[in-house]
Amino acid sequence: MNANVEKIKSFIEQRNLPIPSVISIDGPCASGKSTLAKELETLLEVNILHMDDFYLPFQKRDKNWMNIVAGHMDFERLIENVLKPYKAKRKTNYISYDCHSDMYLQEIPIDLEKILIIEGSYSSHPTLNDYVDLKIFIEVDRDEQVKRLTNRNKDTVDKFLSMWVPFENNYFETLKIREKSDLVIVNG
């Protein structure tokens, strides 16, 4: 087992979180958030929700969304369709969204008997503070991040480095996401 997964697992277990509880795993793209969440899912009774499923469709975005910290995220849909009902122990599900096709895809149920892990950049945004019980931040070295992005998709690495990485970094720095986290993990 990955040492970071073991550290996160122990950290979660030590808190003896009640159900329903929400954990965010935030950090830069290619820091390993999704991979760590998948590994935790095999070890703990958890739901995994991906922030990528909560991008705002293009037609709903403010015309200046690039100048708004997290201006491309649909926090309202996340709160109303998932977090409020989950915290109230009401049956809920959500429809995933694909930003590449700009389409909603499939309905995904949330198991009310499991902790909810929200993984992805923007999962520790202050808009979600009333619902998130534990915040984890994953760090990655810049060289390792570039290597992972290149391995993921050579055709999009330049766009990530010129657009998305600075956009995320602005979010992390402006809102002090790392500093406000309960646990910080260095993952490469």
Instruction: Spell out the residues 6+ positions from residue 19 whose beta carbon is closer than 8 angstroms to its own.
Output: 112, 113, 114, 115
**Residue 7 pLDDT greater than 80, yes or no:** yes
Give the count of beta carbons closer than 10 Å to the beta carbon of residue 128: 19
Residues 21-70 pLDDT 10s: 999 999 999 999 999 999 999 989 899 999 999 999 999 999 999 999 99
pLDDT of 1 reads 54
Residues 69-112 pLDDT 10s: 999 999 999 999 999 999 999 999 999 999 989 999 999 999 99
Residues shown for the chain:
188
Residues 170-184 pLDDT 10s: 999 999 999 999 999
Residue 2, CA distances (Å) to 39, 116, 150, 156, 169 in order: 8, 21, 22, 28, 26
d(CA 45, CA 166): 34
**Residue 132 pLDDT greater than 70, yes or no:** yes
Cis preceding linkage at 28, omega within 30: no
Give the fold, CATH level 3, of 3-186. Answer: Rossmann fold (3.40.50)
Q: How many CA atoms lie within 13 A of 88 on its CB side?
A: 10
| 3-class SS of residue 107 | strand
d(CA 123, CA 126): 9
